[in-house]
Amino acid sequence: LKSVSGNTLVAQTSEPMDAAALRALAQTLAQDPRVEYAEVDERVFPHFVPNDPFYAAQQGYLQSPFAQGGGANLPNAWGRSVRGVPVSGAGVTVAVLDSGYRPHVDLVANIVAGYDFVSQDGFGDFFTANDGDGRDADAQDPGDWNTRSEQCDVDNSSWHGTHAAGVIAAVGNNNTGVIGIAYRAKILPVRVLGVCGGYTSDTAAGLQWAAGLAVPGIPANANPAKVINLSFGRSGACSQTYQNAMQAVINAGVVVVVSTGNDASTTDITQPSNCQGVIAVTAHTSAGANTDYANVGAGTTISAQGNNIYSLNNTGTTVPGADSYSALRGTSFSAPQVAGVAALLAQIKPGISPAEVKAHLTSSARPYLAGTYCVGRPECGAGLLDAFKAVYTLLQSQGVANAAPLMAALPQQYVLPGGALQFTARATDADGDGAAFIATGIPNGATFDAVTGVFNWPKAQPAGDYTVVIQPTDGATLGASVSVKIAVTTAIPVQPVVPEVPPTPIQPNPPTPPLTLTPIASSGGGGGALGWIDIAAGLLLVTGAAWARRAAVPQKLRS
């Protein structure tokens, strides 16, 4: 089809082939003595870095764990695409049941028509509502400041709902302010909190309406949500009212994400996060340790960063003022991060069930930082939120072409007793955060460089067989590790020279052939490897001349 260099040509298959067939074809070609190597002509993808001014300096909670230990690893997720659209929450509606919203310049384009469910307190009193009326179609936040200490703490307006909504879906890559996790998702604002919080009745009604279920006396929801975020709660077991509402919503296929609370409890989480079927989110620090305020306990699902969560705000201390930005903390702003990632998963697989979302989030979570409180404690949940790993595994299960294993295979390594062995582990840097590895099974006297991937054994002994397992530190795929077999032996196999004869014609869909690989030098230099295969790529890079020269040298070990 085309050339790369004098020795390297691109050949196109006669028909589309999946990853397994392409891998088999490449391996078959590589066994021809006139071919130095054959690999798939893969696509490469741009690394997404948003142009929102506050992203780099203020939104560390979204960044790679290599940049911030507790980061949710969003850039690597955003760099993927599905059906030609970036992974960004496009086409997904997320309901935010909270204090309402302000039409912030960095959010309003992603707002769809919601509803105000804050009703009267009784006998004509609208103290909680603070807008002079009860339930209506205006979900804007009038402010929730309080001057009556007998009800709750005296305080200024919090603009809590706007901050949470911004974490989920602030407009992204618009050269303005911050970026939301699901920056192309739509926000359905459902106002259920006012002065001194809200009532179970209003929040349960708003929850059902957000999912598209009927609520007496309320018009039908024209924008049913796939994901619902609840950043509120109270002590006690899950009430029957909450559990009934949750079950109806989950049965409708809607994901419910709830914060666990900020009471520093190590045994109990608040309701409704302790209701059955929800995703309950606690908070960790920027380094990945559970915060000193975040509740953990039975029912906790996962953790997201809770400190210095920079998002949208308003300058008004009572009634609304100007748009602004600020950093707040609490599980209230950890839960929206998980809701945002749930929206990314719903974009990839529109019909995904709440149970599937929960499974992808928990199976892809990173372990808590060694030496911290939550290590080995199931009441802390599965671990730290990792958007890239959750997105990646779902893309892979859906057969999307840019989700492929990171680690390149390595052939068996041979070295004489007392000899030197060196080889390099390689990974396709699909996640854009730089190569870094961990290795287990390192023999005594050998070293492994976690940054460069270089294994070095200057004096291999005693004789025997060894297995070293190497994997990327971000665990970008389940099963991304590679096992390298090492034989310290005097019986190093020698592959005989193969005469140059015309190769056997290759069938369109060959079976995966056995592959015999031996090292290039008896001192133990590592052999070549096939990298990851792009599904249905159909293009093979083949280099021949150098291999043909190598094959002409008798008794020379090769790989």
Each residue of 342-351: pLDDT tens digit? 999 999 999 9
- Other C-beta atoms closer than 10 Å to the C-beta of 376 total 8
Give the active site residues: 98, 160, 332
Instruction: Choose the most confident range, by mean pLDDT, from 2-11, 27-36, 73-82, 311-320.
Output: 311-320
Alpha-carbon distance of 62 to 76, in angstroms, equals 10
The per-residue pLDDT for 493 is 64
Structure token digits, residue 559: 């790989």
371-375, 453-457, 523-527: which has the minimum mean pLDDT? Answer: 523-527
CB-count burial class (<10 Å; 0-12, 13-18, 19+) for 311: buried
Is residue 547 a contact partner of residue 12, using CB atoms and an 8 Å limit? Answer: no
pLDDT of 512 above 80 = no
The pLDDT confidence band at residue 14, using thresholds 50, 70 and 90, is: confident
CA dist list (Å): 17 to 10, 294, 532: 16, 50, 15
Count of H-run helices and E-run strands, the chain = 10, 22
Distance CA 9, CA 3 (A): 4
Report the 10 Å Cβ neighbour count for 511. Answer: 10
Confidence of residue 540 (pLDDT cuts 50, 70, 90): low
Side chain identity, residue 171: V
DSSP string, 356-368: HHHHHHHHTPBPP
Paired sense of beta strands 421-424 and 454-457, if any? antiparallel
User: CB burial class (10 A; 0-12, 13-18, 19+) of residue 497?
Assistant: middle
Strands of the sheet containing 482-488, edge to edge, are: 413-415, 482-488, 464-472, 437-440
SS (H, E, C) 226-279: CEEEECCCECCCCCHHHHHHHHHHHHCCCEEEEECCCCCCCCCCCECCCCCCCE
Lowest mean pLDDT: which of 65-74, 340-349, 406-415? 406-415
Q: Closest Cα to residue 458, out of 471, 444, 470?
A: 444
Predicted pLDDT of residue 494: 53
What percentage of the chain reaches a pLDDT higher than 90? 63
Per-position DSSP letters for 96-165, written without gaps between them: EEES-B---TTTGGGB---EE-----BTTB-TTT-SSSSSBS--B-----B--TTTS--B----HHHHHH
Structure tokens belonging to residue 419: 């000899």
Residue 523 has pLDDT above 50, yes or no: no
pTM above 0.85, yes or no: no
**Which pLDDT score is estimated for 131?**
94
Cα distance between residue 172 and residue 182, in whole Å = 8
Q: Is the pLDDT of residue 513 over 50?
A: no
Judging by beta carbons within 10 Å of its beta carbon (0-12, 13-18, 19+), is residue 222 exposed, middle or buried? exposed
CB contact at 8 A, 115 and 134: no
- Lay out the sheet containing 8-12: strands in order across: 2-3, 8-12, 539-543, 37-40
The H or E element containing residue 426 is none
164-203 tens-digit pLDDT: 999 999 999 999 999 999 999 999 999 999 999 999 999 9
φ, ψ (nearest 5 deg) of residue 184 = -115, 5
Instruction: Tell whether the model's pLDDT for residue 242 goes beyond 80.
Output: yes
- What tokens appear for 436 in the block? 């870094």
For residue range 277-324, what is the model confidence (pLDDT) as tens digits? 999 999 999 999 999 999 999 999 999 999 999 999 999 999 999 999
Residue 60 sits at φ, ψ, to 5 deg, of -60, -25
